């Protein structure tokens, strides 16, 4: 018999966060989060997303053993502002037992119906900056820090319980040796002259901060047309600046501004932290922090996290300016491989940007939906 219990305490939240450590203890591809940071992300008193969203966390038990977990999420900006009556769910992990996965999904669906929502979709987080999608292809490679990993049996459970595919995402990679600077060097000079643009590069985090709010505003503008987009609020901007900007190498943040210093493009790249996090085993101390700092300084892999271009400058070649800046930085850093985080399969604009680098799709993900 499966019993579902809602998490109502800090100790319960830690159990929620730590369950995958048991589920994936024999996996060489799963990347553990830093436990303390994951707890903060899900803590209503810490994460400002809870100003506009609510989440309830549930653990599935068989007798006294935890056998699954799920977060039931309602983003009220999405429901009330965009009129999308969606019940979100994420952090969905379970043993290979249909009774367990059904009990967890039934709990999510019940909350959705209580709130007069029309459908349930997952796995997703609170917003577009969170992890997304269940892996359907590509289980044999290490998951980036900013994505979820899952066992191959997961998708069968979704289908069994009446869920259908809603969105598809792809992850791709390419060797840095594939990059031919001739495809963008001349173009970027022309683009800069034509539109009076200038590239900004940084060596210190303090240099980035004056532009950080503008970057989040541009993120909201450039991603607004994508499905499932939920804008970042002002209070979330402050939270993300504190949590993430200092964690990213400043030289991996690139901004493009016009003649009036208005931000028209940005990109964020991160070193590959996956292997360092595996060594850290969920803890910063005593040695986890050392592994992460070493990866930040020495990783030869780069993860393209975000690229945003102002709508007025899309399809005008601004990405060539960004690529030129990264090319010079990557040569200096000795980068060998480049990875892209999950991108919507139907985002043709972003696919065109990368085509010259001969990217290879190595993983596919889906979100799934069920009418309530």
| Ordered structural domains, the chain, with CATH | 2-169 (3.40.630.30), 175-364 (3.40.630.30)
Residue among 358, 309, 365 at smallest CA distance from 144: 365
CB atoms within 10 A of CB 204: 9
CA-CA distance, 86 to 72, in Å (whole number)? 11
How are beta strands 337-344 and 301-309 bridged, if at all? Answer: parallel
> For residue 160, how many C-alpha atoms fall within 13 Å in the half-sphere facing its CB?
15
**Per-residue confidence in pLDDT tens, the chain, 372 aa:** 999 999 999 999 999 999 999 999 999 999 999 999 999 999 999 999 999 999 999 999 999 999 999 999 999 989 988 888 999 999 999 999 999 999 999 999 999 999 999 999 999 999 877 899 999 999 999 988 889 999 999 999 999 999 999 999 999 999 999 999 998 999 999 999 999 999 999 999 889 888 888 998 998 888 877 666 778 888 888 888 877 787 789 999 999 999 999 999 999 999 999 998 999 999 988 888 899 889 889 999 999 998 889 999 988 999 999 999 999 999 999 999 999 999 989 887 778 888 889 999 999 999 999 999
For residue 341, what pLDDT is reported? Answer: 92
Query: What integer pLDDT is reported at residue 328 of this predicted model?
Result: 94
Confidence at residue 232, expressed as pLDDT on a 0 to 100 scale:
83
DSSP label at 177?
Answer: G
Q: How far apart are CA 61 and CA 29, in angstroms?
A: 26
- Tell me how far apart the alpha carbons of residues 265 and 253 are, in angstroms, rounded to a whole number: 11
Distance CA 280, CA 288 (A): 4
Cα-Cα end-to-end distance for the chain: 25
What is d(CA 53, CA 127) in angstroms, rounded to the nearest whole number? 10
SS3 content of the chain, % helix, strand, coil (to 5): 40, 30, 30
Q: What is d(CA 254, CA 299) in angstroms, rounded to the nearest whole number?
A: 19
Q: Which pLDDT does position 284 carry in this prediction?
A: 85
Q: What's the half-sphere exposure (Cβ side, CA atoms, 13 Å) at 32?
A: 27
């Amino acid at each position: 018999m499966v019993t579902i219990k809602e998490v109502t305490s800090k100790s319960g939240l830690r159990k929620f966060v730590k369950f995958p450590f048991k589920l994936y203890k024999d996996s060489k591809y799963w990347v553990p989060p830093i436990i303390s940071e994951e707890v903060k992300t899900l803590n209503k008193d810490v994460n400002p997303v809870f100003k506009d969203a609510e989440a309830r966390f549930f653990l599935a038990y068989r007798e006294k053993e935890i056998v699954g977990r799920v977060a039931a999420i309602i983003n009220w900006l999405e429901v009330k502002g965009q009129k999308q009556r969606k019940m979100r769910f994420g952090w969905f992990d379970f043993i290979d037992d249909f009774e367990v996965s059904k009990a967890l999904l039934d709990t999510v669906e019940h909350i959705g119906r209580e709130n007069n929502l029309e459908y349930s979709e997952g796995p997703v987080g609170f917003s577009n900056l969170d992890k997304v999608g269940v892996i359907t292809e590509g289980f044999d490679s290490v998951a980036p820090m900013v994505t979820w990993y899952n066992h191959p049996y997961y998708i069968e459970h979704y289908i069994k319980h009446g869920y259908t595919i809603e969105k598809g995402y792809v992850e791709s990679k390419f060797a840095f040796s594939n990059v031919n600077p001739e495809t963008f060097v001349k173009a970027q000079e022309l683009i800069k002259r034509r539109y009076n643009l200038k590239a900004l590069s940084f060596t210190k985090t303090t240099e980035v901060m004056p532009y950080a709010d503008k970057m989040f505003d541009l993120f909201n503008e450039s991603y607004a047309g994508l499905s499932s987009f939920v804008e970042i609020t002002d209070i979330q901007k402050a939270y993300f600046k504190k949590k993430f900007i200092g964690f990213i190498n400043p030289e991996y943040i690139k901004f493009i501004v016009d003649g009036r210093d208005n931000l028209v493009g940005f990109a964020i790249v991160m070193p590959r932290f996956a292997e360092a996090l595996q060594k850290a085993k969920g803890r910063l101390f005593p040695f986890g922090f050392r592994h992460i700092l070493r990866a930040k300084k020495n990783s030869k892999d780069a993860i393209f996290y975000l690229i945003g271009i102002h709508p007025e400058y899309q399809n005008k070649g601004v990405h060539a300016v960004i690529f030129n800046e990264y090319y010079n930085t990557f040569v200096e850093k000795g980068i060998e491989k480049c990875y892209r985080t999950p991108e919507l399969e139907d985002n043709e604009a972003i696919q065109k940007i990368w085509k010259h680098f001969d990217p290879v799709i190595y993983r596919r993900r889906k979100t799934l939906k069920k009418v309530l």
